[in-house]
A and B are shown apart, each in its own frame.
Chain A
């Protein structure tokens, strides 16, 4: 069965319906939204597979189904659906991860009275993400993009009674919206420059040759082109959504959401959206590549931001003690790798890494969820420990996920996708810095994951929660098993020996280049992984922690570095001191203007009217009747009298207005009729 492009809307529609019905269902119905959500996501999964078959049948053809949303004046605002391998593969991935997360959640939130609400939000989240993947219009993509933001807001703040969760939800929404402003401006510019927002439209789309040539030929002052400007603005949106430096600060806080949400946000949805966006509009991002006059090519900026993020995230992960936060910074770092790959021109490698990362990061997050669930919501790795024996299944799958993340050679998926990224970075003609950043990140990744595993699972239990931990129920371990298999096998679709994914995504056969090309790099990165693991083991595995309050070995050795990293390099504080203060200052200024300047005008107008009325009255009553003394006396009297005078005056005036108008109207009608 193949799904034609005109039916693609069904993929996001199913979970959307589940979300709408779930939202409308009575609050006492706990089971209905859960069942609906599961059925809908399974349906979407099957439809995505059908779509994938259709896309693979003709990988180079961009199958579209465009339609008019509404008319603004004479101009139609058009949206559309797009069936190509990129969107279809991503849909399958998102659905597959979602199915597992949904199953996991049924057990994880069994006790929560709002489990129905939770699945409603999950469905909305997945629906928005799927819509984003099959959109053939930047406007439709933005629409779904914002809905992803809404759903993540609802899910991060799912336990909204907790102030920290409520604050984290707002922070995520606002920080990503900051990037979205760039996205919006990029979209507006694109609209203005090309008159369309459709990606592919039989030659008239914005990602097709005609529009791209025009955008690259539109030169702005300073040698910039419209393509560069639009590309950079759209990338700003991706920076926010994908947690790139300098907007990465919301991602670790998003850990306040229930752990399955973290798995979903960090694996296949939300953060993947930013990488997907730049991969989707890659032809536009790359349109200025041939122009030497452009000061900074759009892709160069992407590569720089990606490199910084890859390194920064890995460094910050080293000093975290909350397991979910370690994984969160790990996500930041891995997303940096993906952006780095796009930046050096290898968007296919980015998507490859996105796919494998989705599998093993979902595994690691669900694994951490299994731990947290078993240890009675203890998630500080210093207070865990000794779980290797108590939760053998979780431990083994977590180890497999770790192996994939740090890229243990040959077997694990992460190895292949990371090789693809590093290989592309190595060949980048502009600079070797991204490549070096990537290599440094490899060491750090191996180090912090070894640390995390040692602290969490080895030694002995260091809290009551950890002591009583037991293996999680089947509904939680089954998804772990599936994801563990995927964490290994997902890499096979893109090895140098059989670059199936690369061929499908580019729509042109990519030659297998055997083992000779890049073998040196493989050996090098294997050595680096070994160094990272050895260092981690030497510090944390050799003499594992026995006391929850003991100082971290790293902190003993380099207390300053550790403190700086543990404080997340003070990004939040720095933003609060600059951006936050600027905003507060501006708001205070606006309020001051309101109170003293514009409000003063109102006060003055009122005062003039009052005074005029009072003077009038004074002249009438006092000046004409009793003389000047009484008049000045009356004027000197208290504000109370003014107040009484005021309202009375206006009422009288208004009454006069009504009567006057009525009399005038009557007179005129009478006069007019005559």
Chain B
């Protein structure tokens, strides 16, 4: 197997699985489930195979496939992977199967759910490996379709409205993205990320865009910004998120927060920053304020939530905003202290990965609570879960403290590096953001006190089962990873250090 086929296979196998599930109408539910899990787990296998090929001495792509695709339009079938892409592929490989298993566990219409999910997973992977806008955008948009049907078909009581808003809002963002790249194409004749970045580095891009009109560069930048910002989400483009995360089935929420929101973060690093560094620097001030808004207001809104899903949605906004805060601080700084820049960038990517683990785990916890209580995850319905289900409480507690940023668990490392970098670049922003650390502790521990501590009450008063074997298999690996990556962050940092160094070097050059 050649390297290039690895990338194609990475994306194609889940899609193939989706196709098989889609056409095999008479497949029994059990077999359908196994097939879906296998196809989903293939990502992890491909991820490990790719990891084996990773070359730490290389900052750029270590696997690449590029063949001309549509010559008339100058579009290439261009897939490639660097350390950052690999990071997100591995995240998808870990979370994909776990989220799929959770989605299918008690689902009706297993075949359909499995097919939609695999389509979603393949699309997300496509986003992480595609380097030409055309295939990239197909995957980006295609991910909406299965997400919509999964939310609407398997979600909660108000899933229809939530799914509708999710799609409309995200599509509105995508429209900006599409128009922006249409303009880029018109100006340069290419939609290839690496080519565009090269043009920018040579200083030709601004002139070419400017030829289309004085405001074109800014409008194009804003188009891309909004398109990515909705997905990540960047405050205040996050408004679709709480209802969506609350109404989606637990497994799908795991994937949405764990992987799909990272598509947005990834886009910021892959598209926005390399192609529009000047614009990013020019608007760094307002953007920094927006990211800070997400950090602080996200945490405060979470404090007001009386429902676990809502709280986790806002908590996700808070955590993802740290990644963007780091990026904007770096982009705004220009040539600056290399240590701070590297720290912020490494921290941002670690945070993206680690948030994926802990947020998914917590959405799974919400799913377990809802399944046991037969309803939603309002705090008022629970009390004393730790007494009823001590093992569940132990694992959920690790996830909680990981999200809270406790040293020794994965969440701390990314946040610490972000704070270290941002403090050096934008000390005031770092100081304001620390407030959110306190608020995060308050809302997470308040939830814990209400739901897990105290006497058994509400849905917990009667029988309340501890984790069963299948649930262990989902939460167990996540918790092990949280501890492992908290103690040995080098496992992940090794993947992105070369990139961070080259980025910092390009920044410190005049």
Q: List residues of A whose CB falls within 8 A of some B CB.
A: 23, 27, 69-75, 139, 142-144, 146-147, 150, 153, 157, 160-163, 165-167, 169-170, 173-174, 177-178, 181, 184-185, 188-189, 191-192, 195, 583, 586-591, 593-594, 597-599, 601-603, 605-606, 609, 646-647, 650-651, 654, 657-658, 661, 665, 668-669, 671-672
Contacts and interface: CB of A to CB of B under 8 A. Distances in A.
B407 A142 contact: yes
Contacts of B441: 173-174, 177
Interface stretch (B161-169, B207-215, B371-379): B161-169
A507 to B, nearest CB: 30
A27 B70 contact: no
Chain B contact residues: over half helix, strand or loop, or mixed? helix
Contact of B347 (A69, A72, A153, A195): A72
**3 residue pairs, one from A and one from B, having the closest CB atoms:** A73-B342, A672-B70, A590-B300
Contact of A654 (B144, B435, B455): B144
B424 A192 contact: yes
Given A189-B423, A591-B301, A671-B72, 12 more contacts: A71-B493, A72-B342, A142-B407, A160-B387, A161-B456, A167-B449, A177-B441, A594-B314, A597-B236, A606-B168, A658-B142, A661-B141
B493 A672 contact: no
Interface stretch (B237-245, B252-260, B266-274, B357-365): B237-245
B343 A73 contact: yes
Given A70-B493, A73-B500, A170 B300 contact: no
A109 to B, nearest CB: 17
B399 to A, nearest CB: 14
B339 A75 contact: yes
A185 B434 contact: yes
Given A181-B438, A587-B304, A70 B72 contact: no
Contact of A71 (B71, B430, B497): B497
B437 A598 contact: no
24 contacts: A69-B489, A70-B413, A72-B342, A72-B500, A143-B408, A144-B407, A160-B387, A162-B454, A166-B453, A167-B449, A169-B453, A185-B434, A188-B419, A583-B439, A588-B304, A594-B239, A594-B301, A598-B238, A599-B239, A647-B152, A650-B167, A654-B167, A657-B144, A672-B70
Given A181-B434, A602-B169, A174 B301 contact: no
A68 to B, nearest CB: 9
A184 B408 contact: no
Given A73-B342, A185-B431, A669-B69, A598 B168 contact: no
Given A181-B438, A658-B142, A188 B423 contact: yes
Interface in B295-342: 297, 300-301, 303-304, 314, 338-342
B3 interface: no
B164 A606 contact: yes
Contact of B239 (A139, A173, A178, A601): A601
Contacts of B161: 646
B454 A174 contact: no
B292 interface: no
Given A150-B401, A605-B169, A672 B141 contact: no
A147 B408 contact: yes
A598 B236 contact: yes
B243 to A, nearest CB: 8
A669 B338 CA distance: 45
Contacts of A657: 141, 144-145
Interface centre among A72, A75, A654 (most CB of B within 10 A): A72
A601 B500 CA distance: 36
A152 B149 CA distance: 46
B70 A146 contact: no
B303 A587 contact: yes
B481 interface: no
B470 interface: no
Interface string B384-423: 1011001000100000010000111000110011011001
A409 to B, nearest CB: 45
Contacts of A601: 236, 239
